[in-house]
């Protein structure tokens, strides 16, 4: 793995990135912090991060030292290798394993109702939106060319125990698709926070949410600054 750039996230966590190809953004950090704030009794829980990329969300959860057993599912082999290297070099290889596979074929890798909760930072853009470069990694990560939000919720219904949660970060201009996919797969959006980059109230481009499997309706909506959601 050439051209990897190590980033010292904390005293114990080193995350490897490949600038311009395999790197993480504010949205992933925001998602991890949202989980830590909204999941009670994290010790001994099992979680899976769908479309894990280089594993930043599970790695941040491991680094919080809350006793979670983490798994990441990622379709790109090189991204899996980078995530595994970050876990090994940070001392988290026993708590975070990476599996190469397709979200749509998750039944090949996992048992039904295997996890307590899931996380996902999915592709935001439709397949015909924006600039794409064939099927390179950046296109796959950003556009719904290999999976869409409905595929994510289908996988979540299979993977989660009854009453389990999936935490998702998503673009606000596509929330209609998010709500539709949740409803069609027997999920209810229970909490959502709109992230604003400037002073409140302001314009929001991203939202983080918690959706519960087989739950009654009831949404709690909040708004917060992006830097606060990222723990800054």
Domain count, the chain: 1
Q: Which domain holds residue 175?
A: 5-229
The pLDDT value recorded for residue 165 is: 96
pLDDT, position 168: 97
d(CA 132, CA 135): 8
Whether residue 133 has pLDDT greater than 80: no
Report pLDDT for 128: 56
The arithmetic mean of pLDDT across residues 168-172, rounded, is: 94
Residue 22 DSSP class: B
Whether residue 178 contacts residue 149, with contact meaning beta carbons closer than 8 Å, is answered with yes
Quick one: pLDDT at residue 41? 75
What are the tokens at 64?
Answer: 């919080």
Phi-psi map region of 164: left, alpha, beta (phi>0 left; psi -120 to 50 alpha): beta
Q: Dump pLDDT digits (tens) for 8-19.
A: 999 999 999 987
Percentage with pLDDT > 70 across the chain:
88
Determine the pLDDT at residue 143.
41
- The pTM assigned to this predicted structure is 0.90
Is the pLDDT score of 31 beyond 80? yes
Quickly tell me which residue has 């983490």 as its tokens: 70
* The two three-digit tokens of residue 63, written as one number: 């680094």
Q: Which residues contact 3 (CB under 8 A, 6 or more apart)?
A: 18, 19
In this structure, the number of other CB atoms found within 10 A of the CB of residue 197 comes to 13
> How do residues 204-231 score in pLDDT, each as one tens digit?
889 999 999 999 999 999 999 999 998 8
- At 100, the pLDDT band (50, 70, 90 cuts) reads very high
List the CATH number of the domain containing 105: 3.40.50.150
The pLDDT tens digits for 134-149 are 555 454 444 444 689 9
Whether the per-residue pLDDT at 72 is higher than 70: the answer is yes
pLDDT band with cut points at 50, 70 and 90 for residue 66: confident
């Amino acid at each position: 793995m050439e051209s990897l750039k190590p980033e010292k996230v904390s005293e114990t966590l080193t995350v490897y990135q490949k600038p311009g190809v395999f790197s993480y953004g504010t949205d992933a950090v925001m998602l991890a912090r949202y989980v830590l704030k909204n999941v009670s009794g994290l010790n001994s829980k099992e979680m899976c991060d769908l479309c894990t990329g280089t594993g930043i969300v599970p790695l941040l959860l491991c680094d919080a030292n809350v006793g979670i057993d983490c798994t990441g599912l990622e379709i790109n082999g090189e991204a899996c290798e980078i995530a595994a290297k970050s876990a090994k070099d940070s001392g988290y290889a026993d708590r975070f394993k990476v599996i190469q596979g397709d979200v749509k074929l998750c039944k090949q890798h996992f048992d039904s109702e295997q996890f307590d909760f899931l996380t996902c930072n999915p592709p935001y853009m439709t397949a015909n939106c924006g600039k794409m470069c064939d099927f390179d990694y950046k296109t796959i990560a950003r556009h719904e060319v290999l999976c869409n939000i409905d595929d994510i919720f289908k996988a979540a219904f299979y993977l989660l125990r009854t009453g389990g949660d999936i935490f998702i970060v998503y673009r606000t201009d596509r929330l209609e698709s998010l709500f539709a996919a949740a409803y069609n797969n027997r999920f209810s959006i229970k909490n959502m926070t709109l992230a604003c980059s400037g002073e409140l109230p302001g314009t929001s481009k991203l939202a983080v949410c918690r959706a519960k499997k087989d739950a009654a309706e009831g949404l709690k909506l909040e708004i917060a600054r992006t830097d606060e959601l990222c723990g800054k």
